Structure 1
């Protein structure tokens, strides 16, 4: 599956469980381990676990192996690694504290999101501006 289809699969799985403030970043220039980082917020431990579970189920349905699934015990921050994409499902306070956007966020990827999935500064795309974005 190409990277655009894979990131769409992840976004759709997150949106199915009402993820908030979804952001997608191209990381291929920073590491050879994965091409995308997806960060999404959930409002509770239960929702954060549900977000990760939705991604895992979607990946398995498409026969995409789950390389790692961590953090389900606490539900504050659940990481799902499906190879080319690493997904961070986080509660807002944890997300703000660790600020992964500062680590991975210099190349946002332009993707269509549902209104519920946009962050406060979003204008329809998962990225703060149109520079360095790709479809």
Structure 2
């Protein structure tokens, strides 16, 4: 499956749990860590955990392997690793503090088609 499809699946899974400010960054030219970052946030620890579980479930349903999930216990910054796509689910406070969008400001944004059919 193409990375862009994985990003769209993850974004839809985030949207299903009402994640806020969902963005995707193309990291190919700026980092060796991953090809893409998906970034969003929730307003409570429970919502952050639910968003991460939703991503994991969406990947499992499509046989997309998830390497690891880190940060679930605290629910402040959860990382879901699907290989070339790293999903960062923040608590709102942590997102504002770490501000990955600014840190990786040279990365191009990937258009997301949340809620669209097709």
- Same fold? TM cut 0.5: yes
1:81-92 equivalences in 2 (<5 Å): 81-92=81-92
For structure 2, list consecutive stretches of 5 or more residues without a partner in the other structure.
Answer: none
Query: Which residue number corresponds to residue 43 of structure 1?
Result: 43
For structure 1, list consecutive stretches of 5 or more residues without a partner in the other structure.
Answer: 115-135
How many residues are aligned here?
114
Q: Secondary structure at the match of 1:24?
A: strand
Higher strand share: 2
- For residues 22-76 of structure 1, give each alpha carbon's deviation from its aligned partner in whole angstroms, at most 9, with x where no partner exists: 1110001123442110110101000000000000111111111111200001101
1:9-48 equivalences in 2 (<5 Å): 9-48=9-48
Question: CA RMSD of the aligned region, Å?
Answer: 1.3
Point out the more displaced range, 26-35 or 49-58.
26-35
Runs of 4+ in 1 over 6 A off after TM superposition: none
Q: TM-score, normalised by structure 1?
A: 0.79
